[in-house]
Structure 1
Amino acid sequence: MITLLLLLIAYLLGSIPSGLWIGKLFFHKNLRDFGSGNTGTTNTFRILGKKAGSVVFAVDLLKGTLATLLPAMLGLHTFSPALFGLFAVLGHTFSIFDHFHGGKAVATTAGLILGYNPVFVLFLLVIFAITLYLFSMVSLSSVIAAIVAAISVLIMPAFHVIFGSYDWLFTIIILFLVGFIVIRHRENLARIHAKSENIVSFGRNLTHQKHNI
């Protein structure tokens, strides 16, 4: 019963639509009506600015982290803590407070990984930053970091790099979330192919996309 209750709490925690609520409360804007229509970090940066985007990123990240840490905080060790982080990600992407809409799962998945293995999330952050510098696209950087995460959880534990051993439930969850993240970015990938994806104002833009954020 306690496990089911914590999973519900994790889902509700993840369901907090920080971008949507901040936009409505402080900017009188519904993010669904602007830009990509997404309520996640990138669209918040684009529509509401750096401060709001930073707050939304922090909240969405911490939702995944707190949910992942919930069982340890209560002394529950029945399942991998990643399971609780997964429910937060599902809440983030299918929010009960936003008609089961939400973000693209990147920030909250990063929060899950932060709660599970902080060193691993730092490694993925380096991958994200390098990709962002080379290609100037948050979307592509997110997808590349996700794919690297999938490969890493399959290989690294075998060599005791970052991970001491395999946690197969964590591995399965990460593989699922990586596939989910890629699918959620399919429109971005199509725009990248068409050379029309939004780019940030720094970096090399090696694929010569046309649109600036």
Structure 2
Amino acid sequence: MAVALGAVAAFLLGSVNPATIVARVLGRDLATAGSGNPGATNAGRVLGARWGVLVGLLDVAKGFVPSVLALHLGGHGASYVVGVAAVLGHVWSPFLRGHGGKGVATALGAVLGVLPWFALVMVVVFVAVVALGRWVAGASVAAAGTLVVLGVLAGLGRTGPLGGVGWSTTAYGVVLSGVVLARHRPNLQGWSRARRSR
């Protein structure tokens, strides 16, 4: 029951969308500007880099805070459930009529709260792909894929000092990555069409 209540609270926290709130305060509507996505990347594009960074940090915090609390109060399993709930709230916010961001920053925060070394590896991959390809969506997909690999290695007991042992960690990584990858499907389809048209 405690885990269920924690998941509901995390879902509601995740549903609060900083990008939309900041944009409205500044007199803008992200739904009709830039990519139309209420996330940190579009906020930075439409509102300016500093606002994009602020939104990104707040999105990370939405995943991090409930995950850390659940970890200390209920262990890894509880933190996994609560972290996924926060990401689902961000992606399918009832306050935005079922719409939301793509879940990258909130997923990173959730992983950071329970598996910090996993999060560090994901950030390194993300930064490397952005530096090489200048494609944030591609970097997000690569980071999500990295989490899948780390999750599988955790299930096999081969993540060593990175932590995260057991198949529950595998399931956690696969579910979080699946949500992020599903939200980036249009980006991947656009990239595929661009490749075929060359």
The letter for the 2-side match of 1:84 is: V
Distance 1:154 1:14, change over 3 A: same
Percent identity between the two aligned chains = 32
Query: Counterparts of 1:2 and 1:159 in 2: how far apart (Å)?
Result: 31
How far did residue 165 of structure 1 move?
A: 5.3
Q: Mean alpha-carbon deviation: is it higher for 44-53 or for 77-86?
A: 77-86
User: Does the 8 A contact of 2:112 with 2:119 survive in 1?
Assistant: yes
Q: Mean alpha-carbon deviation: is it higher for 161-170 or for 171-180?
A: 161-170
Distance 1:134 1:78, change over 3 A: closer
Structure with more helix by fraction: 2
TM-score for both structures, normalised by structure 1: 0.84
User: Does the 8 A contact of 2:150 with 2:173 survive in 1?
Assistant: no
Distance 1:162 1:44, change over 3 A: farther
Q: Partner of 1:172 in structure 2?
A: 171
Unmatched runs of 5 consecutive residues or more in structure 2: none
Distance 1:60 1:164, change over 3 A: closer
Q: Partner of 1:192 in structure 2?
A: 191
* Matched pairs, number: 195
Query: Counterparts of 1:16 and 1:142 in 2: how far apart (Å)?
Result: 21
RMSD: 2.0
Query: Counterparts of 1:15 and 1:43 in 2: how far apart (Å)?
Result: 17
User: Does the 8 A contact of 1:80 with 1:169 survive in 2?
Assistant: no
User: Does the 8 A contact of 1:31 with 1:43 survive in 2?
Assistant: yes
Query: Counterparts of 2:103 and 2:163 in 1: how far apart (Å)?
Result: 26
Map 1:119-198; keep pairs closer than 5 Å: 119-156=117-154, 158-164=157-163, 166-195=165-194
The letter for the 1-side match of 2:188 is: L
Kindly provide the CA deviation profile for residues 88-124 of structure 1, in whole angstroms up to 9, marking residues without a partner as x. Answer: 0010001121111100011100001100111211111
Q: Partner of 2:53 in structure 1?
A: 54
TM-score for both structures, normalised by structure 2: 0.90
User: Does the 8 A contact of 2:92 with 2:100 survive in 1?
Assistant: yes
Query: Counterparts of 1:103 and 1:161 in 2: how far apart (Å)?
Result: 33
The letter for the 1-side match of 2:42 is: N
Query: Counterparts of 1:190 and 1:87 in 2: how far apart (Å)?
Result: 27
Unmatched runs of 5 consecutive residues or more in structure 1: 197-208
Q: Partner of 2:11 in structure 1?
A: 11
Match of 2:77 among 73, 76, 79: 79
Distance 1:29 1:149, change over 3 A: same
Aligned-partner SS, 2:165: coil
